[in-house]
Structure 1
Amino acid sequence: MAEEASGEKTEKPTPKKREDIRKKGEVAKSKELSSVVVLFSGLFAMGIYGSFMLSKVQEITKSLLSNPTITDLTIHGVMEFSRHLIISFVVILAPLLAAVFAGAVLSNIAQVGFMVSGELIKPKFSKLNPFKGLKRLVSMQSVMELFKSMVKLIIVGATAYLTITHEMDNVSMLGELELVSIFHYIFATFYNIFLKCSIAMLVLVVIDYAYQRWEFEKRIKMSKQEIKDEYKKTEGDPQVKSRIRAIQMEMARKRMMQDVPKADVIITNPTHFAVAIKYNGLEMNAPKVIAKGAGEIAARIKSLAADHNIPVVENKELARNLYKLVEIGREIPADLYQAVAGVLAYIYKLKGNYNR
């Protein structure tokens, strides 16, 4: 039961998990929002530049019908004429295309920020698996896409039907209008239909975006075991790290114990602390702590001192200060010079080396 519980994806994704899936191009994004923004951008551009674009198209059409400019009927002449004609139409449509492009880019940036990833366009043979394909067809995502398609069809169909029904009286009068007026009316009617559809689609966009966020967060949830595995990969296995630290401490302790026989004196607490002091006036500026320990290690230091005939001096306060303030391999601080010098002088006197 514990293994099953640990395998359930109930935990929020870690920042690293979010970053990894973002690198793969997987983000919470509503396609409907992008579609509606693109549609609004196009309608906005048409609302501002529509009359200008229509007048330019009329000018080109009149020019083509009333005064044909193609005189060279060779392939080169036809190609040149077509090139000028295409460039003219591209220039006319440039504001509309620019608005649509800007809307598409900004709508995506607003949802997911600036992101560049090539993971989604890489070929994956797993996508060719028919069983996975069937699974995707009956997934909740497919059901949601079907629901959105049906809603969009209903919105567009109902909006177009109601708008055209409302315009039926005007449609019957189109026969009395000039061709230009008919085009203006058709353009205005289609513009009205698209605008109403876009406004109605906003409701679908809100629902779809909320669903995409919910589905994405649900999909990227992690199990407790996954979080533990991720922590082990990033921070290292706590047990392994603890074992490594223990080995490192043991190796350092062994090196320290090897230096104890080199000490001039062992200063003790007498039972709690033991600090080994070494001093060589030719190599050192001040006495140095070459080993120290508390409890069992202190006892081992004193045992080694006894085996190598190293003097042991009891000085509770000095031993405690040296143990707490001075790291192994460091020279003693200036405020402890006098106390340590007194101990060394006493030891040298006992050895008959006071004048050394």
Structure 2
Amino acid sequence: MAESDGQEKTEQPTEQRLRQAREKGQIPRSKELGTAAVLLSAALGLMMVGDSLGLAMARLFERNFQVDRAALFDPEAMMPALRDSLMGLMWPLFGFFAIVLVAALVGNSLLGGVNFSSQAMLPKLDRMSPMKGFKRMFGMQSLVELLKSIAKVVFIATLAIWLLWGQFDNILRLSDETLPAAMVGSVELLLNMGLLLCMALLPIVAIDVPFQIWNHTRQLKMTLQEIKDEYKNTEGKPEVKGRIRRLQQEMANRRMMGEVPTADVVVVNPTHYSVALRYDKDKPGAAPMVVAKGLDEIALKIREIAREYEVPVISSPALARAVYHSTKLDREIPDGLFVAVAQVLAYVFQLNAWRKGQGNRPVPLKEDLPIPDEYKA
């Protein structure tokens, strides 16, 4: 829809878009970062295990070039000799490869983190299309990678020539050394130059990592219409959500109206407010509870149901407003309204007893019930 409308992708990707891309295996990766990590770790690893590896190889040469005549003609002597040779090299090589392996794992997961995507492993028909493959080969991404490779080769070659030129005298001086010293010197020279060449990849990494992050974000950018569609799909259409809220409100009102017949009294403001109160006298320490309340049309409906089920309706505007604003549905009234509500309930209980012929007619309820200022609305 966004592409057909001609909208530009100018908006940053949402969290949902980033999450979906990650599930598909589309995360920022820098090949240069992984390559630099492996090469640097290899150079440093050789420096760390170089002495032990050189000593192991010297022992290997010494053992295998000093073989007595009996061992040469013994068919069973070859396998123990091979085993001893491999065991002598195993621990230095194991340390070297362990360093390189850890660096490879860390270097390739620094940007984008560790991500396992089953969707990325699924076969896709568009990848088998020759036309799309042709477009990928000559697309902008391939052009950028080609320019990066050319620039990297030129940069590394220039640095290598500069290093060789700087070490030219030291290289010539090796010819004057004896064989063991010349070998040690040449190895040290090669390792130092290799380390410097590997470190030359760091500026390339410093350029490539921000570029990959920027390119990844650019590819996931969205149009305004895509953001709106995603919001609708995630949160629901406004009209649907409004209808759901109305249905939920209607269901809550029906449940509330079903509690009105169980109330002991309905306190009303004759025009706007109605609150239905119930008091469980058999429950020790219980306080009057609001079982229904409402404004305007709902208030009228509460009064109609109360009259239908002969629930006393008492007009007390100040108390009705105070209870409505201070007490939630199915909650006990606050302590500050106990006295006022107790007077109303006492009047209702006396009125019910008088109607049954038990006791005298109660004194009419006072209009100015004791309501604290903080509850007056």
Common fold by TM > 0.5: yes
Q: Does 1:351 align with 2:363?
A: no
Deviation of 1:316 after TM superposition, in Å, equals 1.0
Counterpart in 2 of 1:98? Answer: 98
Percent identity at matched positions?
Answer: 32
Q: Does 1:27 align with 2:27?
A: yes
The answer on whether the counterparts of 2:273 and 2:296 sit within 8 Å (CA) in structure 1 is yes
Counterpart in 2 of 1:81? Answer: 81
State the distance in 1 between where 2:3 and 2:129 align: 30
Give per-residue Cα distances to partners, 1:62-120, cap 9 Å, x unaligned.
Answer: 3212336954664x65444333323322323233323322322333454445x252448
Alignment: residue pair count: 354
State the distance in 2 between where 1:79 and 1:120 align: 48
Aligned partner (choices 307, 324, 343) of residue 339 of structure 1? 343
Q: For the structure 1 residues 351 and 211, does the alpha-carbon distance in structure 2 shift closer, same or farther, using more than 3 Å as the test?
A: same
Q: Which moved more, 1:5-14 or 1:205-214?
A: 5-14
State the distance in 1 between where 2:173 and 2:277 align: 113
Deviation of 1:154 after TM superposition, in Å, equals 1.6
Q: For the structure 1 residues 274 and 3, does the alpha-carbon distance in structure 2 shift closer, same or farther, using more than 3 Å as the test?
A: farther
The answer on whether the counterparts of 1:6 and 1:223 sit within 8 Å (CA) in structure 2 is no
Give per-residue Cα distances to partners, 1:187-228, cap 9 Å, x unaligned.
Answer: 344324323322322221111112112112222333334434
Deviation of 1:320 after TM superposition, in Å, equals 1.6
Counterpart in 2 of 1:313? Answer: 314
TM-score (norm 2): 0.76
The residue identity in structure 1 corresponding to 2:134 is: L
State the distance in 1 between where 2:152 and 2:78 align: 43
The answer on whether the counterparts of 2:265 and 2:311 sit within 8 Å (CA) in structure 1 is yes
State the distance in 2 between where 1:107 and 1:178 align: 41
Give per-residue Cα distances to partners, 1:7-26, cap 9 Å, x unaligned.
Answer: 54322233344344445544
Q: For the structure 1 residues 123 and 190, does the alpha-carbon distance in structure 2 shift closer, same or farther, using more than 3 Å as the test?
A: farther
State the distance in 1 between where 2:283 and 2:99 align: 80
State the distance in 2 between where 1:6 and 1:68 align: 85
The residue identity in structure 2 corresponding to 1:316 is: P
Q: For the structure 1 residues 351 and 203, does the alpha-carbon distance in structure 2 shift closer, same or farther, using more than 3 Å as the test?
A: same
State the distance in 1 between where 2:333 and 2:174 align: 106
Q: Does 1:240 align with 2:244?
A: no
The answer on whether the counterparts of 2:25 and 2:120 sit within 8 Å (CA) in structure 1 is no
Q: Does 1:39 align with 2:39?
A: yes
The residue identity in structure 1 corresponding to 2:319 is: L
State the distance in 2 between where 1:318 and 1:171 align: 102
Deviation of 1:5 after TM superposition, in Å, equals 7.1
State the distance in 1 between where 2:170 and 2:326 align: 98
Q: Which moved more, 1:19-28 or 1:139-148?
A: 19-28
Q: Does 1:216 align with 2:201?
A: no
Q: For the structure 1 residues 221 and 34, does the alpha-carbon distance in structure 2 shift closer, same or farther, using more than 3 Å as the test?
A: same
The answer on whether the counterparts of 1:29 and 1:111 sit within 8 Å (CA) in structure 2 is yes
Q: Which runs of 5+ in 1 are unaligned?
A: none
Counterpart in 2 of 1:147? Answer: 147
Counterpart in 2 of 1:274? Answer: 274
Q: Does 1:53 align with 2:57?
A: no
Counterpart in 2 of 1:249? Answer: 249
Give per-residue Cα distances to partners, 1:256-276, cap 9 Å, x unaligned.
Answer: 335545655432211111233
Q: Which runs of 5+ in 2 are unaligned?
A: 361-377
The answer on whether the counterparts of 1:268 and 1:314 sit within 8 Å (CA) in structure 2 is yes
RMSD: 3.8
Q: For the structure 1 residues 184 and 262, does the alpha-carbon distance in structure 2 shift closer, same or farther, using more than 3 Å as the test?
A: closer
State the distance in 2 between where 1:291 and 1:187 align: 90
Q: Which moved more, 1:26-35 or 1:46-55?
A: 46-55
Give per-residue Cα distances to partners, 1:34-74, cap 9 Å, x unaligned.
Answer: 22232222222333443442343233123212336954664
State the distance in 2 between where 1:325 and 1:47 align: 77
TM-score (norm 1): 0.79
Counterpart in 2 of 1:138? Answer: 138
The answer on whether the counterparts of 2:263 and 2:276 sit within 8 Å (CA) in structure 1 is yes
State the distance in 1 between where 2:37 and 2:242 align: 55
Counterpart in 2 of 1:292? Answer: 293
Deviation of 1:241 after TM superposition, in Å, equals 2.9
Q: For the structure 1 residues 303 and 140, does the alpha-carbon distance in structure 2 shift closer, same or farther, using more than 3 Å as the test?
A: same
